[in-house]
Structure 1
């Protein structure tokens, strides 16, 4: 039976939910291995809400990913099948009711590479993932239209935590972002932690969220997750834009809007470090 890492057990998510699932998780892994005829061959790794167990079946190597059952597992399984291995980890099997996915074995995360290399890889992957998206996927334009109406009220409730000019810039670019002719599939959770070294392709994405619309959508996250390593933010922004083949002005607008959106969300849930990064990023790219 697997041993869960202490760091995983201390994740904030489990403070308010998932206690029963967590308690049953080692036995659930054993049940899933028996069901899929898997042998555990390595130590447990984890993210914020899932564990990943290296497994083998015959001569084939995989990882077993276990997370709390629910809509998120079904949505992620659909996203993995939609991209079908193009710039994305392959999904071999899924048991949504058990919260289980059998995935391609990958190795080193992109976070181990220098930031200048990482942003170039992410830019190329952003373009590689730009396949035609499903008609019923949530649109990036719709996300902007819905969320923009909430930004100013949230800014006011939080006591005007940054200058009104920053808020106004995000609201000014929102109408253009709320319209798009793009029908590309978009990964809505895209950054260095979600990209691992592969063998079929040099780098492959994991844990996707499937949207449809502008592939620039998560460029802000690409930058703010490693902003502390960037001495010249604009240079890294330009590198990603170039590698992804993006329109620079629209990409900049997406970074501004998404960063302000995340900044307010982060403050609302008590984050302290990320709002500082958001301030730096907006300042570097503001007109």
Structure 2
């Protein structure tokens, strides 16, 4: 194909890894979309004058294909329709490469985005937890610019969850002491009001931050919210808590994140408590077994 390097899209064979087919995302359906992925990649390569330059990688529900055009390197990211591509494209356009992967083009209706190429094999998961935590804290602050008014508010999300947590706790058989629930509700009362209108990434953790070239580390798959930048502090910790030893070490990593982000310690603790209890209940309802225990360890420590 004129202007492309390497094999053109018509000659490129894209295989869907079995590991992608085995993801829980597809247990309830989606085989037709998976079977059609090679044709979909071919169509968008033709549309955007791209050449496939590597094998498909994936997360839980998105396929990522290395591609190039006129010597420039990108990736195609493909998800089934209705999986929030429009919101994600809006988030990437809003941050416009400030701490995030840069969006080059998007077909929101088709579930496809063309993105800046990052090192898909190098995320913060590969760094020791003591190195990763300050980077995530600084990323919270890096993304904290004035947010659009129409995006979800962290305070409104907390208020909505506050209304249902006690009922979920009862339905799930009171899986932890009532005092723990009370602690979360007390924290939620404080968090359901905020004056902050800063941008927040509502899905921040080590696996979502990849090695870049423009900046050392760049966030992928952000969820744009506004309000309190400490919103996802709990997730930052529980996703790496298996690498943390005793409660003292957990607290040390907690302090490293809040210090790097410039967050008040007690305020950060409120967010950890509320989100950990919320996720604990969600995890039990979803049939998870390991994540609720991670939340328990985190709550016990902080």
| TM-score tier after normalising by the smaller chain length | over 0.9
The C-alpha deviation readout for 1:223-271, integer Å capped at 9, x for no partner, is 0000011121000000000000111111100000000000000000100
Q: Does 1:182 align with 2:196?
A: yes
Q: Does 1:88 align with 2:100?
A: yes
Q: CA deviation at 1:6?
A: 0.7
Q: Which runs of 5+ in 1 are unaligned?
A: none
Question: Which residue, out of 226, 235, 254, partners 1:212?
Answer: 226
Q: Is the 8 A contact 2:133 2:253 kept in 1?
A: yes
The C-alpha deviation readout for 1:62-90, integer Å capped at 9, x for no partner, is 01101112260000000000000000000
Q: Does 1:41 align with 2:40?
A: no
Report 1:1-150 matches (<5 A): 1-70=13-82, 72-107=84-119, 108-150=122-164
TM-score normalized by the length of structure 1: 0.98
Cα distance in 2, alignment partners of residues 175 and 275 from structure 1: 23
Partner of 2:10: none
Q: Does 1:265 align with 2:279?
A: no
Cα distance in 2, alignment partners of residues 161 and 26 from structure 1: 45
Q: How many residues align?
A: 285
Partner of 2:267: 250
Q: Is the 8 A contact 2:83 2:111 kept in 1?
A: no
Q: Secondary structure at the match of 1:97?
A: coil
Cα distance in 2, alignment partners of residues 17 and 168 from structure 1: 39
Q: Which runs of 5+ in 2 are unaligned?
A: 1-12
Q: CA deviation at 1:24?
A: 1.1
Q: Secondary structure at the match of 1:93?
A: strand
Cα distance in 1, alignment partners of residues 174 and 81 from structure 2: 38
4+ residue runs over 3 A deviation: none
Q: Does 1:173 align with 2:187?
A: yes
Q: Is the 8 A contact 1:40 1:54 kept in 2?
A: yes
Higher helix content, 1 or 2: 1
Q: Is the 8 A contact 1:70 1:96 kept in 2?
A: no
Q: Secondary structure at the match of 2:203?
A: coil
